[in-house]
Amino acid sequence: MTQLLKISLPDGSVREVEAGSTPADIAAAIGPGLAKAALAARVDGEVRDLNRPFDGDAELALITSRDEEDALELARHDYAHVLAEAVQALWPGTQITFGPATDDGFYYDVMAPASREPFGMDDLPAIEDKMREIIKADKPLVREVWSRTQLIEKWQAEGEAFKAEWAQELPEDEELTVYWSGEPGSEGAWLDMCRGPHLASTGKLDPDAFKLMRVAGAYWRGDQKNAQLTRIYGTGWLNKKQLKAHLHRLEEAALRDHRKLGREMDLFHLQEEAHGSVFWHPKGYRIWRELEAYMRRKMDGAGYREIKTPQLMDVRQWTQSGHWGKYAENMFAVPDMVPEVTEEDGAASPKVADDADWMAIKPMNCPAHVLVFKQGITSYKELPIRLGEMGCCHRNEPHGALHGLMRVRQFTQDDAHIFCTEEQVVEEVRAFCKLADSVYKDFGFDYHVKLALRPEQRFGSDADWDKAEQELRDAVAEAGMANDDYGWEELPGEGAFYAPKLEWHLTDAIGRTWQVGTIQGDRVLPERLDASYIGEDGGRHRPVMLHRAIFGSYERFIGILIEHFAGRLPVWLAPVQTVVATIVSDADPYAKEAIAKLEAAGIRVESDFRNEKINYKVREHSLAKVPHLLVIGMREAEEGTVAVRTLGEKQQRVMPLDEAIAMLTAEATPPDLRG
């Protein structure tokens, strides 16, 4: 008697199929349209190949292009395999290693044959053409299970040293799978070791929906002691329209690059003498000062008290807090130094003292804030206590991870910690949600709120984590943000080692997201650092410590703002809010009067009296992203007017000087101070 399997579908129906049947069989039975659209299958929650037989009774959901996240992951995985096949077809003797999908595409690490130079940008067009040929051939992608011995023998026989090394380390009892591109063993069939899953055939990919982007050096297994490989990067999508949109976003991102705009606007620079730290120029630091003043007003209005804590603290403090065990490799630590004068040249050189105290530069502010909280005896009547700090921190980020203002080694946070009772947590988090909302709206950002839940490696009891996670859920619900309008989502395993956290993910003008604000409900650090308050019962109690920030870091937030606004910052943030430019020198006296009035009104104004054509001046100040240019000629001087050229607008407006000053004053007023 034929064994029948029961396959449950998402609509609640159940289909009985013979043993050996596949998801592709069910898709075909439902209809030819679904059979054509199906890309893979989710079987009992696991994504699998369409042609992989069922193991038994199962729940089945077919994956189509409408399931974009899963579909993109599959397509990019396949593009990576097609890339490797194409390279080996073009240059026999090329060794392949691994090639995963990435957030917007794929890559594959390869080693060129000894007969040629490492692959470069000039090779990419030929590889793309070969990839399209493989895709259009619609070669079946066939899964097989091999033994570890089979794999090792194959790779060694074919000179695939990297694959053979990896295969030798695989567990004997693990199910090892390979995928053929083409009928197994047939002429022109190509094989790679892979867990899968894959699409049913290469033809499921769109030959016009990918592009190879660049090449870079990469070490085998990420170790610079090993052989250097070539990493070929590509971007891959489900259709040509998606690819075109992505390439447009990349073009926009390049135009908005904060490093490029920072140079053009004379805001900041970076150099090797202080790698990972920022040299702020006067104009860039004006943006910083305006943001800092804005945030201070927000924090003062919300009941925070600002403090300042040391840069250096004894390593024992970081050990007690738990940070040393988690972040030591990213911390800058130094022993106590004393000068020693050498006999050779009389110069002072550092020498470690015999009784040296090991100190670490703070990578975060929280332990220091606990020490401030612990000074004196605190009553429950004083809670909540909100301590804020524009705290400068240092983290020893890897050299290759540094990126302009977005990833630095020295940064300043708009940091604060709230010490409160258990009963006050939900209200304090709810109030923070509203505060963060008001800040992001002032800058014109849309955002999503996400809850990062407990990681596998963590401090604290499960009961405390249960309580902390639920408090954050309740607070977001009370703030009216636990819904689709705010992109509410829970992220398993992504919390900090000491606390779950709410995250604010901003969406910028070209659709990119940036995780900035956060609040974390922490019961671990108060326990480890012995923080307490006197309760109503006269006994000692542990406070809950809420770690929170809105900008995240000033450096990164300024970088985000520059890219979001493409350098065209709101007038209140612009380092130079207007430039008064003359057409002829005879207009200089009136222009100087106008500048004096603008300065008296608090407008940040510069003059341009150079003997240059006005169109040249307009182009130069447009490049510097000055919001308004006030042009003055003899006609304006005689009539007491100015010609206003606004950045991004083609037409100029002529208006009385006092009206222009009123307009600028209104735009230069920070949003939190407007009526």
CB 497, CB 459: distance < 8 Å: yes
Instruction: Label the pairing between strands 268-269 and 279-280.
Output: antiparallel
Do residues 501 and 545 lie in contact, with contact meaning Cβ atoms separated by under 8 Å?
no
**d(Cα 150, Cα 167) in Å, to the nearest integer?**
10
* Cα 478-479-480 angle, rounded to 5 deg: 90
408's CB contacts (< 8 A; 6+ apart) are: 276, 277, 278, 397, 402, 553, 555, 556
What Rg value do the Cα atoms of the chain yield, rounded? 31
User: Of the candidates 127, 69, 65, 130, which has an alpha carbon nearest to the alpha carbon of residue 101?
Assistant: 69
- From the list 450, 461, 463, the residue with the least C-alpha distance to 520 is 450
Question: CA separation (Å) from 542 to 322, 523, 531, 558, 673?
Answer: 18, 8, 6, 37, 38
For 153, 154, 172, the CA distances from 168, given in Å and listed in that order, are 10, 12, 9
Active site members? 366, 395, 413, 415, 417, 501, 547
Query: Sign (positive/negative) of CA torsion 124, 128, 129, 134?
Result: positive
Question: Per-residue b/e over 422-431, b at no fewer than 16 CB within 10 Å?
Answer: eebbbebbbb
DSSP state string for 214-234: EEEEEEGGG-TTS-EEEEEEE
Using an 8 Å Cβ cutoff, are 99 and 84 in contact?
A: yes
**Residues linked to residue 504 through DSSP beta bridges, in sequence order:** 449
Whole-angstrom Cα distance, residue 390 to residue 339? 33
Backbone angles phi, psi at 235, to 5 degrees: -115, 140
